[in-house]
Amino acid sequence: MLKRLFSLAIVFVLVFALAGVATAQQGGKLEIFSWWAGDEGPALEALIKLYNQKYANVEVINATVTGGAGVAARAVLKTRMLGGNPPDSFQVHAGQELTGTWVVANRMEPLTELFRSEGWLDKFPKDLIDLITYNGEIWTVPVNIHRSNVMWYIPAKLKEWGVSVPTTWDEFLATCATLKDKGVTPLAMGENWTAVHLFENILLAQLGVQGYRDLFAGKLSWTDDSVKAAWALFDKVLNCTNPDAASLSWQQANDLVIEGKAAFYVMGDWAAGYMTTTKGLTPGEGFGYAPAPGTAGVFNMLSDSFGLPKGAPNRENALAWLRLVGSVEGQDTFNPLKGSIPARIDADVKNPKLYNSYLQSAATDFAKDALVGSLMHGAAAPEAFLNDFQTVVSVFIATRDVELAASAAQTLAEATAVR
Amino acid sequence: MRLNVDRLTALAVLAPSVILLAIFVYGFIGQTFYIATTNWQGLGMGDISSIGLRNFEQLFIGSGLPFFRFREALVNTVVFTVLFIAACLSLGLLFAILLDQRIRAEALFRTIFLFPMALSFVVTGTVWRWLFSPRSGLNTLPALFGGAPLPPDQWAWFTDRRQLFTFTWADASRLVLIAIIVGLLAFAVFSATRRRPVQALIAGMIGLSLIGWVFLGGVFEALGNVVRPAHGVNLAMFSIVIAAAWQMSGYTMAMYLAALRGIPEELREAARVDGCNELQVYRYVVLPLLRPITFSAMIILGHISLKIFDLIYVMAGGDNLRVDVPGIHMYLTAFRGNNFALGAAIAIIMLLLVACVIVPYLVNVFRTEVRR
């Protein structure tokens, strides 16, 4: 009997000891969930390193899920959140991807108080604050800004072919004919999402800033003649692209331009990072850039951000993370490596040691241009819309049926609206 | 049925796996079906209500493009299944017969043909994505021999947008519906004359309720409204079939080879004595004896092809309409578009498709075991 009691006591001691260890560890962890690996990994790692300098006893878990430009990560995140196992903070595109998926589902904590106490309310552009505000509360901390409406080219090649950079789509279509005669693909394109990316910038050129905003606010119908004109233009532009688009990643499509097989490429400015870091080209000389045709004076933006899910296991550590992400120091650590510009207006963008000439010009435009949100990259429309809109674009590429695409998009917009 | 120690032991041994299967297979199938009958969209769980079989109805006769995409995926799956099974069976049989000719280094060739099966579909998909890449893959092969590379727009492989044998969903499903109803009623009449009243009653009931659904539910009118783009045999699908057959035909070869080795030499000898030439030996002796193997191979290949996801996702991406399949559409609908109810409905339809293949097989196996 005594022996039994003794062994029972040992078991109890062990259990409590283990429990003690477990709680001690829990207090010192922070799990960051993102799809940043490979080329984008070092930027996140630098930010984590900075965090560890400030909070040395916190063990940061870098939970990255790669693949499909974030599609795989978001799928894993959704199962984790539905299963009641949220990370402490996760990467999310500012705008409708955040609002439509997470905020309306009541799975995020509002961060307005954090913005107020840190004095951030006037440190981010007003349009960006509007994008991350829903029902009067702010829901996420933007870390960077990327630009969607950029057209890339190689200046030396253009000189060789004797063409100049088109500033409108009409000019582009004229240039398209010239280039086709020379056996050059006028516009490089990759797999389906790059087609959606191209289309959003055609839409922006066709509708203008107000029309584009109205369209995604539900004030302009997708079956309006101006939107149909954008589809018709998209049809013509598609005829200027490479026929094997569906087999190319965005980098491979970019390579067509670098190798002189294609003339232009409409892609977000992560392409600048790819061409400077991976391909070793100098911005302005090795490669050139201009706003996508018909979108000068407009900055079609997307923003990566970090939010605070309800039920985050290490809430205090997560808040410290968010304070770092939103600080000037954090943004100037992250963005030069990521190849994006800071979301804050008071960051050190003029410093040429940190930001190259492309990023400086992007920052200048960001400060003065009208801002709109990208469709493909989660700012302008909720995921439910975007998912099926990618079907609409893939059907349009196969059928080129303007009426069908217009009515299908309108049906989608009505079914998935988040107001 | 007395409870003795033996029975109790049997129960105790079986219970864990039965319980686990009941929860983690059948329980979750049930849950998926339940989700498929709701309107669950988005990450909020608050306002979920039951909408019956509407999701299923929409998939088949709904007019939106997402439903069109499902039907395109369904047609692709049927095309893929037929071509993939045909390719694997014929190549596998060919290799097996060739290897069966008592050739030298047989083991080496057997390993070479069987080896692709050891790879995962992800690896196969990546490799064939490179091979079929219109600008840089197989199309540049003629250049090695001094020719011009094949033009990428003509030899587009998995990026091809052309279709053969196009038809509209409305026409096809009207035909299929009428065929099913006529078939069921004919079967009912046939069973009645054979004095199998239960069979006749069930077939008749299903047939009549289908007629009721078609006419009262306005199915033909709804079909008239479905979106126009045609379905058909997509040329891009052939690239996928080639990659999949490359991987799996070694497997059918192994099965056929084992079966060929199991055919007694006496039977062939007897046929030859009776005056058969070699072709006739295969035609009248060997092939009929291979029938059970063909049947098993079809079942195994069939359920692989109906569930295929990874190969196509890796090879052609997730949004390539011409090679879309229900597995990819389900994943994107549920986990990218947050439409969990519709995703679950697609999953259930995939389950039913696979069941159409597996259940007859199980029934067959069960019958032969009982006979023994």
Interface subset of A 311-370, CB within 8 angstroms of B: none
Model pLDDT, residue A24:
39
Measure the CA–CA gap between A143 and A113, rounded to whole angstroms: 18
Model pLDDT, residue A1:
47
Model pLDDT, residue B346:
96
Model pLDDT, residue B345:
95
Contact of A21 with chain B, judged by CB distance below 8 Å, is answered with: no
- Chain A residues in contact with B321 by the CB 8 A cut-off are 391, 394-395, 397-398
What is the per-residue DSSP string for B127-153? HHHHHT-TTTSGGGHHHHTTSPPPPTT
Model pLDDT, residue A17:
47
The arithmetic mean of pLDDT across residues B125-136, rounded, is 90
Domain residue spans of chain B: 5-335+347-371
Contact of A254 with chain B, judged by CB distance below 8 Å, is answered with: no
How does pLDDT run across B277-330, given as a tens digit for each residue? 888 888 888 889 898 899 889 988 998 999 999 999 999 888 888 999 999 999
Measure the CA–CA gap between B317 and A245, rounded to whole angstroms: 12
- Chain B residues in contact with A386 by the CB 8 A cut-off are 337
Nearest to A394 among B45, B134, B319 (CB): B319
Model pLDDT, residue B228:
74
Interface size between A and B, measured as CB pairs under 8 A: 125
Measure the CA–CA gap between B325 and B320, rounded to whole angstroms: 10
Nearest to B41 among A79, A384, A399 (CB): A384
The arithmetic mean of pLDDT across residues B347-370, rounded, is 86
Subunit contact B336:A404, Cβ cutoff 8 A: no
In this prediction the ipTM stands at 0.86
CA-nearest of A294, A296, A269 to A203 is A294
Subunit contact A398:B153, Cβ cutoff 8 A: no
Count of Cβ atoms closer than 10 Å to residue A322 Cβ: 24
Subunit contact A192:B318, Cβ cutoff 8 A: yes
How does pLDDT run across A55-104, given as a tens digit for each residue? 988 999 999 888 767 888 999 999 999 889 999 999 999 999 999 899 99
The residue of chain A nearest to residue B314, with distances taken between CA atoms, is A68
- Chain A residues in contact with B133 by the CB 8 A cut-off are 244, 247-248
Measure the CA–CA gap between B275 and B269, rounded to whole angstroms: 10
Which pTM does this prediction carry?
0.87
- Chain A residues in contact with B158 by the CB 8 A cut-off are 246-247
- Three-state DSSP at A347 gives coil
Nearest to B153 among A78, A243, A412 (CB): A243
CA-nearest of B318, B217, B214, B299 to B252 is B299
The residue of chain B nearest to residue A400, with distances taken between CA atoms, is B229
Nearest to B43 among A101, A395, A398 (CB): A101
Name the packing angle between helices B65-99 and B236-262 (round to 10°).
40
Model pLDDT, residue B149:
83
- Chain B residues in contact with A68 by the CB 8 A cut-off are 318
Interface subset of A 273-302, CB within 8 angstroms of B: none
Model pLDDT, residue A4:
56
Distance in Å, alpha carbon of A268 to nearest chain B alpha carbon: 20
CATH 1.10.3720.10 fits B5-335+347-371, yes or no: yes
- Chain A residues in contact with B41 by the CB 8 A cut-off are 384
- Chain A residues in contact with B129 by the CB 8 A cut-off are 247
Radius of gyration of chain A (CA): 24
How does pLDDT run across B237-255, given as a tens digit for each residue? 999 999 999 999 999 999 9
Which residues contact residue B364 at a Cβ distance below 8 angstroms, ignoring those fewer than 6 apart? Answer: B295
Model pLDDT, residue B372:
57
- Chosen from A185, A235, A247, A377 to mutate, greatest number of chain B CBs within 10 A: A247
Distance in Å, alpha carbon of A57 to nearest chain B alpha carbon: 34
Contact of A245 with chain B, judged by CB distance below 8 Å, is answered with: yes
Q: Kindly report the CA angle at B218 between B215 and B224, in degrees rounded to 5?
A: 120
How does pLDDT run across B5-55, given as a tens digit for each residue? 888 899 999 999 999 999 999 999 999 999 999 988 888 877 788 888 889
Q: What would the two tokens of residue A250 be?
A: 């965005």
- Chain A residues in contact with B42 by the CB 8 A cut-off are 100-101, 104-105, 384
How does pLDDT run across B60-101, given as a tens digit for each residue? 888 888 899 999 999 999 999 999 999 999 999 999 999 988
Q: What would the two tokens of residue B191 be?
A: 């069973």
For the beta sheet containing A89-93, the strands, ordered from the edge strand earlier in sequence to the opposite edge, are A59-64, A29-34, A89-93, A304-307, A140-142
The overall average pLDDT reported for chain B is 88
Chain B residues bordering chain A (beta-carbon distance below 8 Å): 41-46, 64-66, 68-69, 129, 132-135, 152-153, 156-159, 161, 227-229, 316-322, 331-333, 335-339
> Could you tell me where the DSSP H helices lie in A37-168?
41-54, 71-82, 96-98, 112-117, 126-131, 155-161
Contact of A191 with chain B, judged by CB distance below 8 Å, is answered with: yes
- Chain B residues in contact with A192 by the CB 8 A cut-off are 317-320
Low-confidence residues in chain A, pLDDT < 70: 1-27, 68, 418-419
Model pLDDT, residue A60:
92
Q: Which domains does chain A have, with CATH numbers?
A: 28-145+302-366 (3.40.190.10), 147-301+374-416 (3.40.190.10)
